[in-house]
Structure 1
Amino acid sequence: MTEFKLGRASSDSHYRLKFFETTGSTNAEGLAAARAGDPGRCWFVTAQQTAGRGRRGRPWAMPVGNLAASLLVVVPNHPATAATLGFVAGLSLDEALRSVAPDLAFRIGLDGVEGTGAAGRRDRLRLKWPNDVLLDGGKLAGILLEAEPLPDDRLAVVIGIGVNVVAAPEGLPYPATALADLGVGIDAARLFEALSDAWSSVSRVWNEGRGFKSVRKLWLDRAAGLGETVAVRVGEQVFSGVFETIDEEGRLVIRSPEGLIRTIAAGEVHFGTVATSRQ
């Protein structure tokens, strides 16, 4: 059995770990613990997740060997601030991946030059709004936040993180990839250990939302599609425009061809000008 453990920095910051050989959903485990009075700062990790879910209630397949982990935190009941924890999670996973597999950071251009131009180094890891991590343009990981109010004006937030370590789901309407597909020989336990330490560091910067300005800047530095045309599906509507930035609450800001600025709190981003109904 693969042993999952917290990183040293995470343990020193008084995080805890609950491991399950098999469970339906690590997010569900975290929410159940919150209802039972768990004070938070607890990771829930499983070797096999049988009923994972993604955004909009979609099922999230997780073969054995992939990483399924959820973190329960208890914060003041300010939903807009709590929602920015998704950016903390994305940055933490990005940092963890770069630490355990440094070769993932950049692809060297055909001319071998490590420059910043078109023929130079290209950052392979990018963060996609709101909560995905891309590797070479394919979805490597998804992040799902769920929250429930608690007594005394507190909010239980569970941040679920699923990473395609050994295999990526098939039949998706978008590209997906796994670490193993690209010859990266790390396992879920090693990645989780690095993730737990990275979270400890990035969450201190976030500082219950007071440091989101710094988190926002770091996230934008690694954002996929920034300055490019995107299509955003919001319910049955699709809005196209240039991805300008994210605002101080983490909302997507796009500029339409007519120059109209639109701020979007929730939606699905697709690169290019078309988002089909299947997407």
Structure 2
Amino acid sequence: MVFALGPAARSAGYRLEAFESIGSTNAEALARARAGERGPLWLVTPQQTAGRGRRDRAWISPRGNLAASVVEVIDVAPPVAATLGFAAGLALEQALQAVSVEARLRSPDSTDTVFTLKWPNDVLAGGRKLSGILLEAELVASRQLAVVVGIGVNVVAAPEGTPYPAAALHALGIHVGAEELFGALSEAWARLRAVWDNGRGFGEIRRQWLERASGLGQPVSVRTGGAPLTGRFETIDDTGCLIVVTDDGAKVPVTAGDVYFGAAASSGAT
């Protein structure tokens, strides 16, 4: 099987370049944007050797996992571009739901897994981290914003010893390939990118995201490098900030940080 765009993605004008192996699809996408690429273009590989997650953490991606980045130059402000990460999470959750249904149809032994969205940019499977999303942006020569959304999914293997427990699709009994998952992802992305509509449709993206949010209404602890902020996860606001209600009733917006829910929030996990 080879990587291919879904019909909706092709109709929307997306292009695709696949690699047997690459250091980082995000780094390649940014380099191309600096050189004049305007997108929309997907770069995809089953093996990434120098991937990065948030805060420059390494993203381990052995052969068989999925690493994909979509690049586009758009005329929006950076805070608006940041909300595109929520559309990416929704797209990946919908793609995972679609391929898991297909897997169950092929094999009655496949498991029925619940996928949820963890603020700001993770997809969980059964409460374990299945994927990560890294959004990067920079101004290019036209003074427009080159936006790159990188998506990594543990398809065949997941790292061990991570701060947040990780999972892989195959270990969950969902036997699909990176190529099949990417096809579903490109379809879901084309739909939700249109809903987002350069930020004008973030209200609808926010509504759908909250329906799938992990930890909503639960105790939460957010670590940003200093003393942790603890309270209850109330919602995300219209800019995508996590809203934490503290014990004294204050509503604190959070723009970035490592988030832990439930028992992990109470135990002080790091």
TM-score by length of 1: 0.90
Of 197, 216, 230, 1:226 maps to 216
1:46: which partner in 2?
45
Q: Does residue 1:190 correspond to 2:183, yes or no?
A: no
**Equivalences, count:** 261
C-alpha contact (below 8 Å) 2:103/2:176 kept by paired residues:
no
Q: Distance in 2 between matches of 1:252 and 1:104?
A: 34
Q: Distance in 1 between matches of 2:118 and 2:201?
A: 21
Name the structure 1 match of 2:195: 205
**Which is worse superposed, 243-252 or 69-78?**
69-78
Residue type matched to 1:61 in 2? I
The structure that is helix-richer by fraction is 2
Q: Which residue of 2 aligns with 1:271?
A: 261
* 1:171 is the counterpart of 2:161: yes
Counterparts of 1:216 and 1:237, CA distance in 2: 28
| Distance in 1, Cα, partners of 2:133 & 2:207 | 19
Asked whether the equivalents of residues 141 and 162 of structure 1 are also in contact (C-alpha less than 8 Å), the reply is: yes
Which AA in structure 2 matches 1:192? F
Alpha-carbon distance, 1:247 to partner: 0.3
- Three-state SS of the structure 1 residue aligned to 2:88 is helix
Q: Secondary structure at the match of 1:162?
A: strand
Q: Which residue of 2 aligns with 1:249?
A: 239
**2:142 is matched by which residue type in structure 1?**
D
Q: Which residue matches 2:109?
A: none
Secondary structure class of the residue paired with 1:61: strand
Distance (whole Å) between structure 1 residues aligned to residue 85 and residue 163 of structure 2: 23
1:214 aligns with 2:204: yes
Matches within 5 A, 1:1-279: 2-102=1-101, 124-272=114-262, 273-274=265-266, 276=268, 279=270
TM-score by length of 2: 0.93
Listed as ranges, the gaps of 5+ residues in structure 2 are 105-111
Sequence identity (%): 54
Give 1:102 deviation, angstroms.
2.4
- Other structure's SS at 1:51 match: strand
- TM-superposed deviation, 1:103: 8.1
Q: Amino acid of the residue matched to residue 71 of structure 2?
A: L
| Mapped contact 1:48–1:63 kept (Cα < 8 A) | yes
Shift of 1:77: 4.0
Distance 2:206 2:151 in 1: 19
Instruction: Give unmatched runs, 5+ long, in structure 1.
Output: 106-121
> CA shift at 1:275, angstroms?
6.7
Q: CA deviation digits over 1:7-64, x for unaligned, max 9?
A: 1110111100011111100000100110010012100111211000111111110010
Counterpart amino acid of 1:219? Answer: W
In 1, Cα distance between equivalents of 2:157 and 2:128: 12
Q: How far, CA to CA, are the matches of 2:18 and 2:152 in structure 1?
A: 15
C-alpha contact 1:234 1:268 (8 A) present in aligned 2: yes
User: Compared with structure 1, are the counterparts of its residues 173 and 33 closer, same or farther at alpha carbon in structure 2 (3 Å cutoff)?
Assistant: same
- Residues 214-257 of structure 1: per-residue CA shift (max 9 Å, x gap): 00000000000001110011122310011010000000001001
Asked whether the 8 Å contact 2:103–2:175 carries over to 1, the reply is: no
Quote the Cα distance in structure 1 between the aligned partners of 2:252 and 2:188: 33
Could you tell me how far apart the structure 2 residues matched to 1:123 and 1:250 are?
26
Per-residue deviation at 1:171?
1.2
